[in-house]
């Protein structure tokens, strides 16, 4: 098993598999958003070879970026560690989104669940996945929750989240301490 976080894993055949830090951003602004996020965190926690390290507080956030008028979001960030390949993680994220009936009808429209993969260790873009996520460094709904659980976090090519958050407008994000979501298996 693991020699520690973000280290090396030895599988049953003796192969060495690097363990990467993985950061997910989850958002919902359609349906029962708090329960949807809680269930999505459970699905992530049930993913083989993906260990949740921490789940951020929940934030209520105004739409950032383009899109038609729509309800405010609930957002949170999950920090995990995994030996899985980025495209395997993306497949899992898309499968969880589909489980909540996400259909891409209106561009940038409301969504029951959106899971963005912000980073997978030092991995960079390949095939259908952009890494690190190209807009994460300018999004308060990613940086603010992430900072709560990972004060030393960094986005490769952009720097420390503690500094990035100084450059974004945080007036549209509000912590919702009345909504408690944590990983089902203790960490």
Ligand X SMILES: Nc1ncnc2c1ncn2[C@@H]1O[C@H](COP(=O)(O)OP(=O)(O)OP(=O)(O)O)[C@@H](O)[C@H]1O
Distances from the Cα of 140 to the Cα of 21, 106, 112, angstroms: 21, 23, 20
61 binds, among ligand PH2, ligand X, none (CB under 5 to 8 A by kind): ligand PH2
116 lies in the binding site for ligand PH2 (CB under 6 A): yes
Please give the Cα distance from 41 to 52 (Å, whole number): 9
Enumerate the β-bridge partners of residue 80: 22, 52
Is the distance from CB of 99 to CB of 47 less than 8 angstroms? Answer: no
Among 32, 103, 135, 166, binds ligand X (CB under 6 A): 135
Nearer to ligand PH2 by C-beta: 27 or 121? 27
Is the distance from CB of 112 to CB of 103 less than 8 angstroms? Answer: no
133 binds, among ligand X, ligand PH2, none (CB under 5 to 8 A by kind): ligand X
From residue 61 to residue 100, the character string flagging contacts with ligand PH2 as x (rule: CB under 6 A) and all else as - is xxxxx-------x-x-------------------------
128 lies in the binding site for ligand X (CB under 6 A): yes
Question: Closest by alpha carbon to 6, among 160, 153, 157, 151?
Answer: 153
**Taking the complex as a whole, how short is the minimal distance between the CB of residue 83 and ligand PH2, in angstroms?**
26
104 binds, among ligand PH2, ligand X, none (CB under 5 to 8 A by kind): ligand X
Q: Where are the alpha helices (DSSP H) in the chain?
A: 33-45, 86-99, 140-149, 161-164
From residue 78 to residue 117, the character string flagging contacts with ligand X as x (rule: CB under 6 A) and all else as - is ------------x---x---------x---------x-xx
Distances from the Cα of 116 to the Cα of 89, 99, 131, angstroms: 10, 15, 10
Q: Interface residues with ligand PH2 (CB under 6 A)?
A: 27, 61-65, 73, 75, 114, 116, 141
């Amino acid at each position: 098993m693991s020699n520690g976080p973000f280290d090396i894993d030895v599988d049953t055949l003796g192969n060495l598999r690097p363990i990467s830090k993985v950061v997910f951003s989850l958002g919902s602004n359609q349906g029962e958003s708090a329960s949807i996020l809680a269930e999505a965190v459970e699905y992530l926690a049930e993913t083989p070879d993906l260990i949740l390290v921490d789940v951020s507080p929940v934030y209520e956030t105004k739409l950032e970026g383009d899109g038609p008028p729509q309800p405010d979001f609930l957002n949170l960030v999950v920090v995990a560690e995994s030996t899985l390949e980025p495209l395997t993680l993306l497949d899992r994220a898309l499968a969880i989104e589909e489980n909540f009936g996400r259909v891409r009808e209106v561009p940038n429209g409301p969504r029951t669940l959106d899971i963005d993969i912000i980073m997978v260790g030092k991995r960079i873009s390949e095939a259908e996945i952009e890494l690190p996520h190209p807009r994460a460094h300018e999004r308060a709904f990613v940086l603010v929750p992430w900072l709560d659980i990972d004060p030393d976090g960094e986005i490769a090519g952009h720097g420390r989240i503690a500094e990035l958050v100084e450059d974004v407008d945080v007036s549209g994000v509000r912590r919702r301490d009345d909504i408690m979501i944590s990983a089902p298996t203790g960490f």
